[in-house]
Structure 1
Amino acid sequence: MKAQDIMTKEVICVDMDKRLPEIKQIIETNAFHHLPVVDEDRKIVGIISDRDLLRQISPFIDHASEQPRDVDTLNRAAHQVMTRQPVTIKAETSMSEIISWFQRVDISCLPVTDEEGHVIGIISWRDLILHATFN
């Protein structure tokens, strides 16, 4: 089994200047945990997780104690909060190598790219569990 066999193929990506409220909406609407960030040539340059949003957006938004500095957290762009140079794999990457990446590096998804660096899929640790076979 290879990456192409288990990856999610319909991946929504955002550009580097997309603002956090829009990113949050995309993640929540689609029940995503990861969102690839691409440049003007649609090549991957980063990744934003739902945890990144939790760290970046003030928890006081829409509460009585909200301050102007809390609202300012919403003005950040994807390029300001993304993890740069994410680990990526190719469609032909073997399951053993995919599992190895998850074990060695503190990541919870692996974007799958073509030879030019365009996102063609994504694999999360949940995908591994869904496709696991136990003997």
Structure 2
Amino acid sequence: MSTLIQLMSKNPVSVSPDDSLTVVKEIFDHVKFHHVLVVEHGVLLGVISDRDLFKALSPNIGTAAETSRDLATLKKKVHQVMRRAPVALREHAKVMDAIHLFNTEGVSCIPVVNAANQPLGILSWRDIIRALDRTDKAGEATP
């Protein structure tokens, strides 16, 4: 099976802890992924998912019922909503380490970091499933 480095999405999108949720909403409105890393001075501080954003925003945004109070939820800062100290793996970890974390920690993505906790990429359970599917179609033994 492939290594984490081969499976992960490289150059993950990141935001600052002081960015507003407007920035995060703009990202999620234009991409197909579900997690953004929160980075400050090159170091991973947290993760914010589209679900975290959805829970933090008023459901009236973009509707006829929208008020200034609803719009104010977009002004919240990332650090108010992000998951702090996210589960992460070092770049040389094994795929089975990632599978174990997915099964035990209830996360759907795992940042991959170097020794200085600087993000190198992000791994989702879908990345592993995709690799297993390719392996199976190639006629190789699956793990």
TM-score, with structure 2 as normaliser: 0.89
- Equivalent position of 2:46 in the other structure: 46
| Regions of 4+ moved over 6 Å | none
- Equivalent position of 1:8 in the other structure: 9
Identical residues among aligned pairs (%): 37
Output the CA distance in 1 between the equivalents of 2:11 and 2:131.
18
- Equivalent position of 1:18 in the other structure: 19
SS of match in other structure, 1:64: coil
The C-alpha deviation readout for 1:73-97, integer Å capped at 9, x for no partner, is: 1110110100000001011110111
- Equivalent position of 2:63 in the other structure: 63
Cα deviation, residue 47, structure 1: 0.3
Cα deviation, residue 27, structure 1: 2.0
- Equivalent position of 1:29 in the other structure: 30
Output the CA distance in 2 between the equivalents of 1:102 and 1:62.
34
Is there any run of 5+ residues in structure 2 with no aligned partner, and where? none
Cα deviation, residue 69, structure 1: 1.9
Aligned residues: 134
SS of match in other structure, 2:122: strand
SS of match in other structure, 1:25: helix
The C-alpha deviation readout for 1:22-69, integer Å capped at 9, x for no partner, is: 111112212220000011x11000000011111111110122212222
Output the CA distance in 2 between the equivalents of 1:130 and 1:66.
40
TM-score, with structure 1 as normaliser: 0.94
Which amino acid in 2 is paired with 1:15?
A: S
SS of match in other structure, 1:131: helix
Is there any run of 5+ residues in structure 1 with no aligned partner, and where? none
Cα deviation, residue 121, structure 1: 0.5
SS of match in other structure, 1:28: helix
SS of match in other structure, 2:10: coil
For the pair shown, which has the larger CA radius of gyration, 1 or 2?
2
1:111 equivalenced with 2:111 (yes/no): yes
